[in-house]
Structure 1
Amino acid sequence: MTAPVFLVDSVPGPGETVLDGPEGRHAVSVRRLRAGEPVVLTDGRGSGAVGVVRAAEGKDRLVVEVTGEQSEPEPVPLITVVQALPKGDRGELAVETMTETGVDAIVPWAASRCITQWKGERAAKSLAKWRNTAREAGKQARRLRFPEVTDLMSTKQVAALLAEADFAAVLHEDRDAGSAPLASVELPASGRIVLVVGPEGGVSPEELAAFEEAGAKAYRLGWSVLRTSTAGTAATALLLGRTGRWS
């Protein structure tokens, strides 16, 4: 079993360090780590420290002897998924599985056909849930570089993001809309790939037109129609394989 990962503000150097607070509590009281077990401490930005537990003190204090360092370089190409807001907890499901799969950034999108709306206090709470989910999923996946979850974007802001991408795509299940297979397209070897996942009701014609004007074409994954909470994960896996990041 690989060493569990815990998040720290800054990665410690060689020698003894203490993991406390919520992460220490999780290590001691939930994971029940004991002396001699390996751990990894990361800042979530690509740097990590390898260590061995020296002692578990109380309920929330883990003494760790740092013995080495690890690093996770910035991936190439970068993959960003623009995720329309799903209903209920399916947003957290999408964030969790995309993070575990290897996405680099997630953009919440207020599409016109979204039933869920982020406004006021609900917007702040929902965004915090997405970011917490990405953080926890990153640790579960043993990542040292966690995906960024941006602020909520409008269609206009998403179009601007697509215009700056090295490759931009909108997932679209309707073959009559001219969508080509994503599996057959030529992908860039570097830069940023931006993929748009629409809501359950689909991307509206007006949104599709705005994205096409920004340089994003319509693509499909396969014969079956996936839910918005799973399409981004499936597409991310396809892109990771085709760009060589999974080789």
Structure 2
Amino acid sequence: MSNPVFFTPAGSLDGVVAGSVFVLDGPEARHAVTVKRLSVGESVDIADGAGTRLTGTVSEAGAGALSVTASEVVFEDQPAVRLVLVQALAKGDRDELAIETATELGIDAVVPWQSERSIVRWKADRAAKAHAKWQSVVAAAAKQARRAWVPEVRPMVDSAGLAKAVEGADLAIILHEDAKNPLRAVLQQQILDASGSAREVLLIVGPEGGISPREVTRFSDAGAVTALLGHHVLRSSTAGPAAVVLASDVLGRW
């Protein structure tokens, strides 16, 4: 069974080597001691969310701190092709469910998208709170999945902002039920057959009401391609994770 993972701020593991004692404090330490009830001698991983992972043994477990003697400290590289889920805001917390599951499955970054047909709206103070909630969701999912990397939650974009992102992307794919080419074929042609020129792939998922024809045209004009994800219409919370699974298989991650 894999070790439980607890997060520490990025950079805090710099300089830590095998044999060092690292002290984890704050909420993560309290969770480790009071909730997980870790005790001296148990194995644990400490990750900084930016690729560095310490594997070690608990040497002391106090009320607000966990001391871990490092047996190994490694840096886990990002994948050669990063997958970015552009998730339209959706009602009923389906957008949060999408990014949570996609994180567990290996997404590298997520982008909140205020699409034309999104019922949910991020405005004023709510935008900052909602963005922070997304960050909390992906951090918890990364912890659950024992990941060393916490996916980046990029700033929210509207359709105009997404069109600009598509223009600058290596590859942007609109998951659409009217597409002719299967997602697998698109990925193979655009990435594998192109000698790996794509370093970042945007997977664009619309809201429950679907992506509007105007948005499809706008993103296509900016360079996006459409792809079919199976023959059934998936919910907004399901399409992104399903695409991550298929893309991970095509890219050899799994």
TM-score (norm 2): 0.92
One-letter code of the match for 1:198?
G
1:26-105 paired onto structure 2 within 5 Å: 26-58=31-63, 60-105=64-109
**2:45 maps to amino acid:** V
Tell me the distance in 2 between the aligned counterparts of 1:88 and 1:11.
38
Matching residue's letter, 2:2: T
Equivalent residues in 2 for 1:72-151, closer than 5 Å: 72-151=76-155
Structure-2 residue corresponding to 1:18? 23
> What amino acid sits opposite 1:142 in the alignment?
R
Distance 1:164 1:179 in 2: 24
- Alpha-carbon deviation of 1:182? 0.7
Q: In the alignment, which residue of structure 2 is the partner of 1:3?
A: 3
Give TM-score, length-normalised by structure 1: 0.94
Residue 46 of structure 1 aligns to which amino acid in structure 2? Answer: G
Check the 8 A contact 1:162/1:168 in 2, yes or no: yes
Amino acid of the structure 2 residue aligned with 1:42: A
> Is 1:205 matched up with 2:197?
no
1:72 maps to a residue whose letter is: E
User: For structure 2, which runs of at least 5 residues remain unmatched after alignment?
Assistant: none
Instruction: Give the Cα separation in 2 of the matches to 1:36 and 1:62.
Output: 12
Equivalent AA in structure 2 for residue 181 of structure 1: P
Gaps of at least 5 residues in structure 1 are: none
| Superposed CA offset, 1:146-172 (max 9, x none) | 110111101111111112222211011
Shift of 1:16: 1.5
Q: Figure out how many residues of one structure are paired with residues of the other and give that number.
A: 242
Q: In the alignment, is the contact (CA less than 8 A) between 1:91 and 1:130 conserved in 2? A: no
1:158 aligns with 2:166: no
1:40 Cα deviation after fit: 1.1
Q: Residues 106 and 147 of structure 1 are in contact (CA less than 8 Å); yes or no, is this contact kept in structure 2? A: yes
Superposition RMSD in Å:
1.2
Specify the SS of the correspondent of 1:50: strand
Contact 1:76/1:245, CA 8 A, preserved across alignment:
no
> In 2, Cα distance between the equivalents of 1:199 and 1:179?
20
Aligned amino acid, residue 240 of structure 1: S
Q: Report which stretch shifted further, 184-193 or 120-129.
A: 184-193
State the identity %.
46
